[in-house]
Structure 1
Amino acid sequence: MRHELIICTRNRADDLRQCLESVAAQSRLPDRVIVVDSSDTDATRRVVDDFRSGSGLAVTFASGPARKTVQMNAALKLLDTATDIVHFTDDDVVLDREYLAEILATFDAHPECGGVGGRIADLPPRRAKGLVRRVRRAFLLDSARQGALLPSGMNTMCRTGSGPYRVDWLSGCSMSYRRRAIDSVRFDETRARAGSGMDLDFSARVAARTQLIWTPRAFLNHSASDIERDDELLVRRRVVRSRWRLARIGVGPVNRPAVLFAVMGDTLMLLAMTVVFRSRTHLRQAIANGVGVIEAVRGVPV
Structure 2
Amino acid sequence: MKRKRDFTVTLLVSTYNKPDYLRQTLLSVARQTVLPDEVVVADDGSTDETRQLIDDMRSIVPVPIQHVWHPDTGFRLSEIRNKAIAAAKGEYIIQIDGDVVLERHFLADHLDVAEPGAFVCGSRLLLTPRYTQKVLGDGMKVKSGFSSKFDHMLNNLRIGWLRRYMAPRFAKGQPDRLRGCNMAFWKSDLIAVNGYNEDMASWGGEDIEIAWRLIYCGVQKKMLKFGGVMYHLYHPEASRDKVSMHNEIIDAVKRERSARCLNGLDKHLQ
**TM-score normalised by structure 2 residue count:** 0.70
Asked whether 1:52 is paired with 2:58, we answer yes
User: Bigger relative contact order, structure 1 or 2, given CA contacts below 8 A and separation 6+?
Assistant: 2
Give the alignment of 1:77-226 within 5 angstroms. Answer: 77-80=86-89, 83-107=90-114, 111=115, 113-122=117-126, 125=149, 162=162, 163-166=166-169, 167=172, 168-169=175-176, 170-185=178-193, 186-193=195-202, 195-208=203-216, 209-216=218-225, 217-226=227-236
Change (3 A) 1:252 1:16: farther
C-alpha separation in 1, matches of 2:156 and 2:213: 22
Alpha carbon RMSD of aligned pairs, Å? 2.7
Determine which structure has the larger helix proportion and give its number.
Answer: 1
Deviation string, structure 1 residues 10-50 (Cα, Å, up to 9, x no partner): 11111111111111111110100011223452111111111
Indicate if the aligned counterparts of 1:64 and 1:71 stay in contact, CA closer than 8 A: yes
Query: In structure 1, what residue type is equivalent to 2:183?
Result: M
**Contact in 2 for aligned 1:28/1:100 (Cα 8 Å):** yes
Q: What SS is found at the alignment partner of 1:94? A: strand
Matches of residues 234-245 of structure 1 in structure 2 within 5 Å?
235=240, 237-245=241-249
Q: CA deviation at 1:112?
A: 5.0
Q: Secondary structure at the match of 1:57?
A: coil
Distance in 2, matches of 1:112 and 1:55, equals 28
SS at match of 2:229: strand
TM-score between the two structures when normalised by the length of structure 1 = 0.63
Unaligned residue ranges in structure 2 (runs of 5+): 1-6, 127-146, 259-270
1:87 deviates by 0.9
1:33 paired residue among 36, 39, 44: 39
Partner residue of 2:21? 15
CA separation of 1:20/1:45 partners in 2, compared to 1, >3 Å: closer, same or farther? same
1:173-209 CA distance string (max 9 Å, x none): 000012222222211111224x421111112211222
User: Which segment drifts farther, 47-56 or 243-252?
Assistant: 243-252
Matched letter for residue 80 of structure 2: Q
Structure 1 Cα separation of the partners of residues 39 and 17 of structure 2: 18
Instruction: Tell me which structure has the larger Cα radius of gyration.
Output: 1
Residues 171 and 251 of structure 1: CA distance in aligned 2, closer, same or farther (over 3 Å): farther
Q: CA separation in 2, counterparts of 1:22 and 1:243?
A: 34
Q: 2:254 matched to 1:250?
A: yes
Shift of 1:113: 4.0
How many percent identity over aligned positions?
Answer: 26
Cα separation, 2, equivalents of 1:18 and 1:40: 17
Alpha-carbon shift at residue 248 of structure 1 (Å) = 2.4
1:252 to 1:199, Cα distance in 2 relative to 1, 3 A: farther
Deviations along 1:72-112, whole A, 9 cap, x unmatched?
Answer: 010011022xx2210110111111110110100111xxx35
- The gaps in structure 1 that reach 5 residues or longer are 128-157, 255-302
